[in-house]
Each structure stands twice: as C-alpha cells, then as structure tokens.
Amino acid sequence: MTYNNLLYEKSEGIGTVTINRRIALNALNSEVLTELYQIFGELESDPEVRVVIITGTGEKAFVAGADIAEMQTLDAVGIRKFAVKGRKICDKIYNFSKPVIAAVNGFALGGGCELTMCCDLRIASENARFGQPEINLGIIPGFGGTQRLPRLIGMTKAKELVYTGDMIDAQTALALGLVNKVVPQASLMTEARELARKLLSKSGATLAQAKRAMNTGANMDLSSALDLEEECLTVCFATEDQKEGMKAFLEKRKPQFKHR
C-alpha cells in the first residue's frame, strides 16, 4: 500500500494507519479522505488484520480539522461533495467489521473530532484537545458532528460544544464519555497496541457481531434493536468460535479462537 498522505504498518494482526500531513497539522483534504476510504476498503478484506489503530503524525495534532484552505475555495455544490466524501469515510469506519481504535495524539478538532467519533474506542494523550469549532467559521460540522456527538455525550453538552466552538481537554473528554482512557503522550501508542492485543485475544467473528448489534441497534427502536441482538447471538452459535469458547470454559482453559 502506497499513499501520499498516510503511513501504514501491519504487525501481528494489528494495522496502524497514520495520517501524515505534518505541515498542515494532518488536516483532512479531499486527497486524505480518498486515501482513508481506499485503505479501509483494503483492510476490510485483509484477513491478517483484525484490529486497526488510527492516529496522526507528530505530537501536536491527531487531525486539526478539515482543510480550510481547500474548503474556502468551494461553493455550495462543492462543499456538498466535500461533506459527502467526509461522511463516506466516517461511515466506512463506523460500519467497518473489525474494531477501530483512535489513538488521539493532540488536536482533534472539527473533522478530526468527527473522525474519532466513528471509531469504536478512543485513547487520548494528556495533551489531546477536542472540539467542533466550525461555528467560528460561520459553518456547522459536516462529517457527522451534530449527530454523533449527542449520541456519545448527550444533547446538552453536545449543543454547548457545537454552539460555542469551545475546545475541551482530554480529562474533560474522559469525564463526558468521549474517550475511554487518557494516558501520557509517551505511552499513547503502547497503550493503544495493548488494547488492540486484548481485542486480538477475542473471537474476530464474535466481535463483528457485537459491533453490528451495538452500532446498528443504536439507530433502532428498542424492540427492533433487541430483535437484532437475538439475530446476532444466533449467528454466533453458527461459528466454530462459539463451540471452542464454551468448550474451553468447561475445560478451564483459554480458548483458541479461529475467528470463524
């Protein structure tokens, strides 16, 4: 895989995608969005990758936002196309069958904050900052911020962040439930890989059903979501991993999952 704006590394079942536009604080322009969409398409079909970590180059920014230099040249038709491109990659990550961990190493603002929210789990360095500052530019979030943020932290605080454009620090993000854990900058990737290895010890087939039940069910009424949960549980009972997991439990040993 060769990309102009991404670095990629694969090791022991973990794929690490690093957004690499240091000169622009890893801002998301059209090319970055296209490359992210492409790489996640390739990772979806790579059986050797079962967990993905996404992060940014350097210690200052995960993604400082969408690329304002590109956006300010666009008219209404152009911005609609740009927003669609951003939504497509966010939806792709959200619906990705494998767990995705955001290792937030600095500013995660605007499109960067929206990118973290479509990941399954988020670990932030102590210097990370989150926000939806679009209101200060005379616009609103366009990659899902007005919709995913209320679902994660509640409508009241989400409106405060979107209406004011204020940034919050990592500990505030943790208190709001926007991130799972805050760690020192120096240990961020170590912590992210440790979490990824924990997920690798689980059944990939089962994790896919858990993600499907939770992500899809979140947008259903409760009765329909419970029906979906039953369906996903039933699918689990058609896997080899379910049989191995229960057998291992009864034999008091660790399961040896085959991810099928």
Catalytic residue among 134, 160, 231, 251: 134
Query: What does the angle CA 51 – CA 57 – CA 62 come to, to the nearest 5 degrees?
Result: 75
CB 61 within 8 A of CB 26: yes
How many other C-beta atoms can be found within 10 angstroms of the C-beta atom of residue 173? 25
Edge-to-edge order in the sheet of strand 167-169:
61-63, 107-109, 129-131, 167-169
- Known catalytic membership, residue 126: no
The Cα diameter of the chain in Å comes to 64
- Known catalytic membership, residue 12: no
If residue 131 lies in a helix (H) or strand (E), which one and from where to where?
strand 129-131
Helix (H, G, I), strand (E, B) or coil at 213: helix
Q: How far apart are CA 229 and CA 151, in angstroms?
A: 19
CB 142 within 8 A of CB 190: no
Catalytic residue among 12, 35, 59, 114: 114
Q: How far apart are CA 40 and CA 215, in angstroms?
A: 18
Looking at 76-181, list the stretches that DSSP marks H as alpha helix, in order from N- to C-terminal side: 76-94, 111-117, 145-153, 155-164, 170-176
Query: Which one, of 121, 117, 97, lies nearest residue 204 by Cα?
Result: 97
Phi, psi (deg, nearest 5) at residue 121: -135, 150
Query: Where in the sequence numbering do the catalytic residues fall?
Result: 114, 134
